[in-house]
Structure 1
Amino acid sequence: MKISKILISFLLFTCLLAVPPLLLQYFDNGDLLVPNFWTIFFFISALTLIIIVTVLLVQQKNNEMYAAAFLGATTFKLLACLIFVLIFIKKSHPEKLNFVLDFMYLYFLNTVFEIYGLLRNLRNQNSK
């Protein structure tokens, strides 16, 4: 799969992922969203995009390094998110339950998309 196809899929996914928080923000007065929710949204989305593109570029350069790149990128994403959470909580003191729900919504769905896109790409490479 070409990088352009996964980028288009990622943009569509990101737009669909933003719809429920937008609806909550306008119809629920934003009570379920933490302050600066969109900062979390853009950070995790950008991190996912960087990881997907990096792993795909590594795969194009050296197919044997795909597994190592994927594991390294996943570890980097987890550590980057943990550092981000630490800084975010220290700075803004959000409500705990809402923060956990918002963060997990974004983190897990982005991770599912990342794994799906990379495995779909790997499957296409194996069929050649």
Structure 2
Amino acid sequence: MLRIFLFTIILTIVFFVAEQYFVATWLHPSWKILLIFFFSVSFLTQRLVETGLQGNRERLIPLYLAATAARLILGLAFIGFFLFQHIDHQRTFALDFLVLYIFYTGFEIWGVTRNLRRDS
């Protein structure tokens, strides 16, 4: 939980600096909403996996795959909602969403493989 929070804080600082001090044409004005969404989804999926693993470590793979599928479905619903609402700069919004999706997914995969190495 702490790692996801710190990761989000680092991304927030990077986006804030890019927005304030650079001409960031790649940064959508709604980047804060994207970060809140990804932090929320990452927190919920981590809690789902931790709660499901209490007492039975053999359920890691099905729970992690279910959490990944849930993140994908929530992400598609989130971006579909905003694109359906005709948000400005749709292409920039979609690209920022995809970049953050890849960052958060890579970070969670790194965390899982780090824990698997320690537990083996």
**TM-score bucket (shorter structure):** 0.7 to 0.9
Distance 1:45 1:54 in 2: 14
TM-score by length of structure 1 reads 0.82
Within the alignment, does 1:49 sit opposite 2:74 as a pair?
Answer: no
Supply the RMSD in Å over aligned alpha carbons: 1.8
Q: Secondary structure at the match of 2:54?
A: helix
Within the alignment, does 1:17 sit opposite 2:11 as a pair?
Answer: yes
Distance 1:68 1:94 in 2: 38
Residue identity opposite 1:116 in structure 2: W
Aligned pairs for 1:92-107 (under 5 A) are 92-107=86-101
- The farther-off stretch of 25-34 and 54-63 is 25-34
Structure 1 segments, 4+ long, off by >4 Å, are: none
Distance 1:94 1:37 in 2: 13
Distance 2:3 2:114 in 1: 12
Point out where structure 2 has 5 or more consecutive residues left out of the alignment: none
Distance 2:48 2:116 in 1: 14
Which fold has the larger relative contact order, with Cα–Cα distance below 8 Å and residues 6 or more apart in sequence?
A: 1
Q: Secondary structure at the match of 2:63?
A: helix
Q: Secondary structure at the match of 2:117?
A: helix
How far the C-alpha of 1:52 sits from its partner, in A, is 1.7
Match for 1:115 among 86, 90, 109? 109
After superposition, what is the alpha-carbon deviation per residue over 1:76-98, rounded to whole angstroms, capped at 9, x for unaligned? 00000000000011224232331
Give the aligned length. 120
Distance 2:50 2:37 in 1: 20
Percent of aligned pairs sharing the same letter = 28
How far the C-alpha of 1:73 sits from its partner, in A, is 0.5
Distance 2:39 2:2 in 1: 14
Point out where structure 1 has 5 or more consecutive residues left out of the alignment: 1-6
**What does residue 67 of structure 1 align with?**
61
Within the alignment, does 1:32 sit opposite 2:26 as a pair?
Answer: yes
TM-score by length of structure 2 reads 0.86
